Chains A and B, each alone.
Chain A
């Protein structure tokens, strides 16, 4: 698993890491169940702040891609795959569109719930 970050980029480092894991899970290069390096280890390897890595991992956990267990570190969820990643991307697109139209988040949620 290759991680690369560019501090000179306009995209935040946490986002750069999250994008790479998402892309890896989506194209199958990161298999479900794969254990990610610990936040401390990855931070040392890339010479970045550990909290930056934790922020990226937390984002991926909220997206349903990673699971984090005390003492066992982060690993890719068994049910994570291209589908999960696509769903997260659709949700991002939906939110972006709602923001553009000035629709508030509770209204978006209601919109989804009435269809569920």
Chain B
């Protein structure tokens, strides 16, 4: 292939989804917050009071939490971060590995920071309600721990499947225009949206009776119901305006790729595992709207990023999109 140039960086960058030694080491550093919390909790447990400060207002402690609860919550978050690291080194997570260890490191770092600063302050001052000063800032800075596994993980090149053949086209006359439409309905999302809306109304009534308790829950339920409703019926179209995905029920445009952004389009089998699951997925260098496991259109943009949407019989729309984009 004459157009392909291999930069020294690309030559050394990992191509296979298998985790490299450096990536395994990066994921292993996520166990440090777990070790820090568990070792200090064991060493300090006898010297700590039953309640630890949780919030400060200036020098005054405004709320407290049980020591065991504090150990449990911060330890559990740190442990979840470490487990996320184990998931990150699996082959399926290759494309999101770097982002995952960053997020896991931030969460675990923050949890460990909160524990160390709070318990450390109580131990150091000998007071159950010490003056915190600027120390909580240190706990927040501990979130930066995520940068360590992130920096240790090498950047992975965009994984792209080699296209074996030229994408198919539709023979359109010079003066002819073409448009393709399909509508996909997911009845489960409709039922889910209905159920959530009923739940939201019930919670809203409860909230009014109980002087505003659970008002946040009503909002969350309604938001989730709205998201379900958005994806319950989608209209996908390919025409002179490019590829468009519109929520049919809410008349809300979800995605549009103009023709001048389209490099090529092809029909492929979409496996949700490879695109990060169901729904609207965003991964480094690619995004997708996945409603089912099966056939779909994969669009390669001019900037090299990919977008996929599952549709029945994608060969025709993919060919039409390629044809219209080439005009």
Contacts and interface: CB of A to CB of B under 8 A. Distances in A.
Nearest to B316: A2
Contacts of A71: none
What class of interface size applies to chain A in its complex with B?
A: 10 to 19
Contacts of B177: 4-7, 46-47
A37 B181 contact: yes
Contact of B172 (A4, A44, A45): A4
B180 A2 contact: yes
Interface in B168-192: 170, 172-173, 175-183
Contacts of B240: 45-47
A83 B170 CA distance: 29
A1 B22 CA distance: 50
B239 A46 contact: yes
Contact of A1 (B172, B175, B181): B181
A37 B176 contact: no
Contacts of B239: 45-46
Interface in A1-19: 1-8
Contact of A5 (B176, B316, B320): B176
B241 interface: yes
B180 A1 contact: yes
A6 B179 CA distance: 12
A58 interface: no
A6 B175 contact: yes
B237 interface: yes
Q: Is the interface of A mostly helix, strand, loop or mixed?
A: mixed
Interface in B125-179: 170, 172-173, 175-179
Interface string A22-44: 00000000000001110001101
Nearest to A8: B175
Contacts of A45: 179, 181, 237, 239-241
What class of interface size applies to chain B in its complex with A?
A: 10 to 19
A4 B324 CA distance: 12
Given A45-B241, A46-B239, A2 B178 contact: yes
A3 B178 CA distance: 6
A10 to B, nearest CB: 12
Contacts of A36: 181
Interface hub of A37, A44, A45, A46 (most chain B Cβ within 10 A): A45
Nearest to A42: B179
A6 B237 contact: no
A72 to B, nearest CB: 11
B26 to A, nearest CB: 48
A2 B179 contact: yes
B178 A4 contact: yes
Nearest to B240: A47
B180 A3 contact: yes
29 contacts: A1-B180, A2-B179, A2-B320, A3-B179, A3-B180, A3-B181, A4-B176, A4-B177, A4-B179, A5-B176, A6-B175, A6-B176, A7-B175, A7-B177, A8-B173, A8-B175, A37-B181, A37-B235, A41-B237, A42-B179, A42-B181, A45-B179, A45-B181, A45-B239, A45-B240, A46-B177, A46-B179, A46-B240, A47-B177
Please provide the 4 A-B residue pairs with the shortest distance between their CB atoms, ordered closest to farther: A45-B239, A45-B179, A8-B175, A6-B176
Interface of A: 1-8, 35-37, 41-42, 44-47
Given A6-B177, A7-B175, A37-B181, 8 more contacts: A1-B180, A2-B170, A2-B316, A3-B181, A4-B178, A6-B175, A6-B176, A46-B179
